[in-house]
Amino acid sequence: MSWVFFAIGSAFFAGLTAILGKLGVEGMNSNLATFIRTLVILFVTAGILSARNEWQLPQHIAVKPLSFLILSGIATGLSWLCYYRALQFAPASWVAPIDKLSVVIAIILGVVILGEPLSLKLIIGSILILSGVLVLAL
């Protein structure tokens, strides 16, 4: 269940990201702010790879997974650009909940594209998340 620890860490740091990002984009172009954030992530990740001695590439890097990692990077970059731009115009307490619609979108895409099983629990959870976002956004 170590994945739960990392998932909770992800949620915590994503919430912290909204507050720190809102403070960081004050008086700065949101695209430049995103670039600076990306550089920091690059250096932090490189530091972790170095500390754990994990720089070894696999013997063979398959084209398909590499392609999806590249597309994922593009999607992440576009998400961050939109997120920081939204933070320039609205409070973090408005932007962050709407951003969490990504959970519902990921569930839908997981079912449609990855063929993950759809359950009553997923449907109810998605409706609750959507309802929460609507309550907070309106």
Give every CB contact of residue 133 below 8 A, 6+ residues apart in sequence.
Answer: 97, 98, 100, 101
**pLDDT tens for each residue of 11-67:** 899 989 989 999 999 889 999 999 999 999 999 999 999 999 999 888 888 888 889
pTM, to two decimals: 0.83
Tell me what percent of the residues of the chain surpass a pLDDT of 70. Answer: 100
CA angle at residue 48 from 47 to 51, to 5 degrees? 85
d(CA 56, CA 36): 27
Using alpha carbons, list the distances in angstroms from residue 8 to 31, 37, 57: 28, 21, 29
Asked if 104 and 129 count as a contact pair (C-beta separation under 8 A), the reply is yes
